[in-house]
Chain A
Amino acid sequence: MAKVLIIGGGGAGLVSALAAHESGAEVIVITKTLPTRSQTSMAQGGMNAVLGDDDSVSNHIADTLKSSAGLGNESRIAFLCENAPDAIRWCNTIGLPFSRDASGEIARRRLGGASAPRACYAQDYTGLKLLHTLYDQCLKAGITFMNERFLLNIIVDEESNRALGATCLNIPTGDVEEIRADSVIMATGGYGALYGKHSTNSVGSTGDGIAAAIRAGARLADLEFIQFHPTALKSSSILISESARGAGGYLLNAQKERFTDELGPRDMVARAIHDEIASGGAVYLDIRHLGEEFISHELPQERKLAKIYEGIDPVYDLIAIKPAAHYSMGGIEVNDECMTGVSGLFAVGECANHKTHGANRLGGNSLLELVVFGRHCGKNAAQFGVKISAPELENPQFDKDTDFVNGVMCFTNQIDFYEKQEMLANIFYNNVGVIREEMGLKAVLDAIGQMQKELPFMGPQDKSKICNTNLVEFIEFGNKLELAEIIVVCAISRNESRGAHYRSDMPVRNDALFGSHTITWKEDGVLCADFMN
C-alpha cells in the first residue's frame, strides 16, 4: 500500500486525500491549523459547471480560455470544464448543500466573464460548506490528520530528484518532525497574504508550499499573475462576493455615477476601479436596490461584515470598496498528472499552476479546479506511490531544518520583522498591484534584497518552544520574502500587459515575445527565470 502525504487541509488537500484513499493509499494530511480553518472556507461565489441545455461545455471552455489571455492551456481547460458536471454531482453525492432553484435543481448564478449563469452555489458560503462536507467525508474515510504542523521543507533525494517526504514544525510542541511517504501532494494554497491588509485572504495564505517547492527543485510558473478582486471593503479588504454584482449590484464613482461593465472579467473591472479611485478618491458598490430580503438571504456574510468593519448597512448605504489581492494564478508548475518537476512531488489547487486560469481566473473556476484536479491528483499520487515506492534513504533535511529552527531562535532581533512585513505589503500593493511599471518594480526588488540581507538581524522575539506563533510568523515572512523576489523578477521580465499583469509603461499585449509562461527555478540557490511554453 502506498503512503501519500498531503500538505494542506483546504479543499484541494481534502479532495486529493479522499481520491488517494479511494485508490487504496494510506493517507496522512498535515495542516498548519485545522482543515476547516483553511482559505477555502472564505470562498463565496460558487463552482462553475454546465448542467443544463441552456449552456454548453464549449462555452465554458471558451469563456475560460478567453479570460486566460493566451496563457491558458486548452487541453487542461477542456479537462476542467468537461469534468465540471461530474464534479458537481460528486459534491452533491457527498452532501454539499447546494442552493436550489424554483424547480428544485441546483441553482446557478452568473459571475463575471461568464456567458451564462453557471456557478453552482450554497448561499454565499459555497467554500465553507464544501470544505466542511469534505472534512466530514475524510473523517468517515478514516483519514489521518496531523494538525498544527507547519511545513518546513520537502525531503528530496538529490541524486535521483525524488521526493521522500517532508519536514515540519509541530507548532504546539516546538519540535521539528520528519514524515516520510511514497508520494507527497502540495496543497498549501496561494500567496495573497503577502499583500497583508490589502488582501482578501486569510493570514495563513503565505505561500509556504510554493516556496518549499522551489527550494526542493521544482519549477514555478507565472508568479506575477495575482488576481485583484474588484470589490473588497475599503478599510478591511474583506471580500464582497462577485455574486453581489451578478445579482445586479452597481459600481459607482465618487460622483455616484456608473463607470464600467460590472460583470466584465475581474482584471478589467479591478483596473477600472483603481483608475476611479486614483482620480476621484472613492468607488462604491451599490446593492440597495436589491432589497433587504435578497441581501439578507443571498449575502448574509457581506451584510454582517460591512456592519462590523465599515459601520454601514448595505441595505441602506453605499459600500466603499477597493480592489484587493485575492487569488494567486501563479504557482508550482505541474504536468498533466499534477506532478511537479520533482519526482513524486505533486501539487494541486491554488498553490499549483494547472494552466487553467492563465493570466486571469474566472470567478467560480477555483473551487471547480480544486475538485476536478484534486480527484485527479489524489488518484495519480496513489498510483505513483504503488508503482515507484520511495526508497529508504538517509537524508540530511531533518537535521538541517532542526538546525535552522534552532538558529532562527538565536537571530539578534535588532530589526522588527513585523514592521518590514507591513512595509512589504504596502509597497507590493502600490507597485506590484493592479497597475505596475518598471521603476516601481525595481525599487521594490531593491527593498526585498535589503530585507533579505537583514533577515539575520530580525527573528522571533518570543523565545518559547511551546506554541511559538511569533516564530511561525517569522518563517512565514521568510517564505513571503522568497516569493516576493520571484514575483517581482517575473513582473519586471514580462514587458507587456496581459490579464492581471498590467504594466502602465508597456500597456500592450505582446504575443511574439511574451506569449508563453514565466518559468522560475533555483540553481544552487540562485533564482533563474525564462519564458517557456
Chain B
Amino acid sequence: MTILVKRSHEDEPRGYEVDFENVTLLTILNHVKTKVDSTLTYSHGCRSGVCGSCAVRVNGREVLMCEYKPADGDLVEPMRNATVIRDLVVENSNVEHFNRMANAWSEESRAGAVSEEDMSGIETQSDCILCAACYSACPVYAVNPDFIGPFALTRVWRYVSDPRQTQSDAKITAVQTNGIWDCTLCGECVPVCPQGIAPKQDITMLRTKSAMMGYQDPNMSFGGGLDFGSPMF
C-alpha cells in the first residue's frame, strides 16, 4: 500500500510504498525511517498508547500512530493548532502552558476511605495521556488561541470532582476567562480522544459547578445571548 505523508517544505505529500498489512501506522513509519528515508521525522515512544507522543492526523482525523492501522492511500499530517517543527513533529509547549493557566493540579487531597464508586467518577478523566489530539481537533483555537482548551479543562474537572479534594475554588476561578464559557460544545474533541474521554461533558460539568458558585456565562450577560422568555423589566 501507499502511505502519503505531509513533509515540511514540500507542497505535495510524499508517498511511501510499503508491503505491509494489518500493522499500525507507527510500525510502517518505523520501517520507512530505518529502511527507506531516515529524514522522515515524527515522535513516538511506548508504542502502546500511554505516552501520548505519536498523535497525528490521518485523512484529517486525529489518531495515535501506535493504535491506528492504515489503509492504502491514507494521508498523514501533523496535528493542527500547533507550529510544525518538522514533518509530523509539532511544538508542544501548549501542554504545559494551558495546564498552568488552568491550575490543573491537586491543591490538597485528604486521606481516609473513599468509596470505589466515588473514585470511579474520575477514573476516565485521569486516563488522559496529554497527546493533545483534542487540542488539534478543537475549532475554538481558530478564533481564540488563548482558549484553555479541552485537555486542560478535563484535567481541572478531574481534580475539582475528585472526592478527596478539600479545595477547588481557585481552579473554578482560573477557568472562567478563556475557559469553559469559550467552548462552543461542538464536541469535536470527543471522538478523537484515544482514551475515551469526553472533554465536552467535563466542560459542561464545570459550567454547572461554576453556576452553582455564582459565576455567570459572560456570553449571556450583555443581552446578546439566548432569551428563554424571562420577563423583561
Asked whether B127 lies within 8 Å of A203 as measured between CB atoms, the reply is no
Asked whether B50 lies within 8 Å of A139 as measured between CB atoms, the reply is no
Q: Which of B49, B53, B130, B165 contacts A304 (CB 8 A)?
A: B49
Q: Report the Cα distance A466→B43, complex, angstroms.
A: 14
Asked whether A36 lies within 8 Å of B126 as measured between CB atoms, the reply is no
- Which residues in chain A, 292-325, are within 8 Å of chain B measured between CB atoms? 301, 304-305, 308-309, 311
Kindly list chain A residues whose C-beta atoms are within 8 Å of the C-beta of B44. Answer: 203
With A36-B130, A132-B126, A308-B24 given, is the CB distance from A461 to B39 under 8 Å?
A: yes
Asked whether B129 lies within 8 Å of A36 as measured between CB atoms, the reply is yes
Min CB distance B155 to A, Å, is 7
The stretch from B113-121, B182-190, B200-208, B214-222 touching chain A is B113-121
Asked whether B34 lies within 8 Å of A418 as measured between CB atoms, the reply is yes
- Which residues in chain B, 72-125, are within 8 Å of chain A measured between CB atoms? 85-86, 89, 91-93, 95-96, 99-100, 103-106, 108-109, 111, 113-116, 119, 122-123
Interface size on B, residues (CB 8 A): 56
Interface Cβ pair total, 8 Å cutoff: 159
Asked whether A139 lies within 8 Å of B105 as measured between CB atoms, the reply is yes
Asked whether A467 lies within 8 Å of B38 as measured between CB atoms, the reply is no
B209 CB-CB contact with A under 8 Å? no
Q: Which of A301, A418, A419, A470 contacts B49 (CB 8 A)?
A: A301
Min CB distance A334 to B, Å, is 26
Question: Closest chain A residue to B93 by CB distance?
Answer: A147
B128 CB-CB contact with A under 8 Å? yes
* Given A94-B106, A97-B162, A464-B39, 13 extra CB contacts under 8 A: A34-B92, A36-B129, A38-B51, A42-B46, A95-B159, A97-B122, A98-B119, A172-B86, A460-B38, A462-B39, A466-B85, A467-B89, A470-B39
* Residues of chain B whose beta carbon lies under 8 Å from any beta carbon of chain A: 22, 24, 33-35, 38-39, 41-53, 67, 69, 85-86, 89, 91-93, 95-96, 99-100, 103-106, 108-109, 111, 113-116, 119, 122-123, 126-130, 155, 159, 162, 164-165
List 24 interface pairs A-B (beta carbons < 8 Å), by A numbering.
A33-B45, A34-B52, A36-B52, A36-B95, A37-B43, A37-B51, A37-B53, A41-B51, A41-B129, A42-B50, A93-B109, A95-B162, A95-B165, A101-B116, A122-B126, A128-B50, A136-B104, A139-B100, A140-B106, A172-B91, A202-B51, A203-B47, A467-B85, A467-B86
Q: Across the A-B interface, give the 5 residue pairs with the lowest CB-CB distance, nearest first.
A: A95-B106, A104-B113, A136-B105, A418-B34, A467-B86
